[in-house]
């Protein structure tokens, strides 16, 4: 294959990949900050060719190790913010006008589902995981579950905040099904007779 055809093919593939990333639902993917244990897929294009393509795990210090750059802080940043930071650093020191794509390949965070579900425990967070979906992952509800008073506890700025959720209304489509974040705890209480 000639270098001109190869360049055109790579340009088309890179453009398609950029369009796919740009058209993703930003409320679900790019707005979700990465957490410890997340595995990121990072691809760098420059000069019409792929320059770097690597996976990196967010370690306990909140960093990933990048070729050329070493350790880079990423915990708490969205994939878009990470891509902008890597692009700026690579453009300053290594490449002319690099394009950087960052995606979460595997989520490292967990949510904890307790109470009246068939399989209480810790479950991995993935994009778009909601309260109802987490309960279904936990095997569904027992016959004694009080769906009108489910408690969602989340730590925000070091403070525990609890919200009450009526899953009966969620199942009927009368209330939204809240998205979960890493570290959230769901408690499905037992009905009182």
Q: pLDDT: is 129 or 11 the higher one? A: 129
Q: pLDDT digits over 35-64, tens only?
A: 888 899 999 999 889 999 999 999 889 999
What pLDDT does residue 107 have?
81
- What structural domains does the chain harbor? 3-106 (3.30.1950.10), 110-188 (3.10.560.10)
Mean pLDDT value of segment 2-6: 51
Nearest of 135, 107, 141 to residue 121 by alpha carbon? 135
Task: Answer yes or no: is pLDDT of 163 > 90.
Answer: yes
* Token pair of 5 as six digits: 């055809």
Q: pLDDT digits over 9-33, tens only?
A: 444 444 444 434 333 333 334 567 8
Mean pLDDT value of segment 104-123: 91
What pLDDT does residue 2 have?
57
Q: Which of 9-23, 83-97, 141-155, 159-173 has the lowest mean pLDDT?
A: 9-23
Is pTM beyond 0.85? Reply is no
């Amino acid at each position: 294959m000639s270098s001109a055809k190869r360049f055109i093919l790579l340009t088309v593939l890179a453009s398609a990949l950029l369009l796919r990333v740009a058209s993703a639902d930003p409320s679900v993917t790019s707005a979700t900050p990465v957490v410890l244990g997340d595995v990121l897929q990072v691809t760098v294009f420059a000069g019409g060719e792929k320059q770097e393509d690597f996976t990196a795990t967010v370690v306990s210090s909140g960093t990933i190790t990048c070729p050329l750059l070493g350790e880079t802080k990423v915990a708490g940043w969205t994939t878009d913010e990470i891509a902008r930071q890597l692009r700026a650093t690579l453009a300053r020191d290594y490449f002319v006008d690099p394009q950087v794509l960052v995606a979460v390949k595997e989520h490292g965070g967990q949510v904890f589902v307790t109470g009246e579900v068939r399989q209480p425990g810790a479950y991995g967070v993935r994009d778009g995981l909601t309260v109802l979906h987490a309960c279904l992952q936990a095997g569904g509800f027992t016959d004694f579950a009080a769906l009108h008073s489910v408690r969602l506890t989340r730590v925000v700025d070091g403070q525990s905040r609890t919200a009450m959720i009526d899953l009966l209304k969620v199942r009927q489509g009368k209330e939204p099904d809240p998205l979960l974040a890493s570290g959230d705890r769901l408690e499905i209480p037992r009905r009182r007779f």
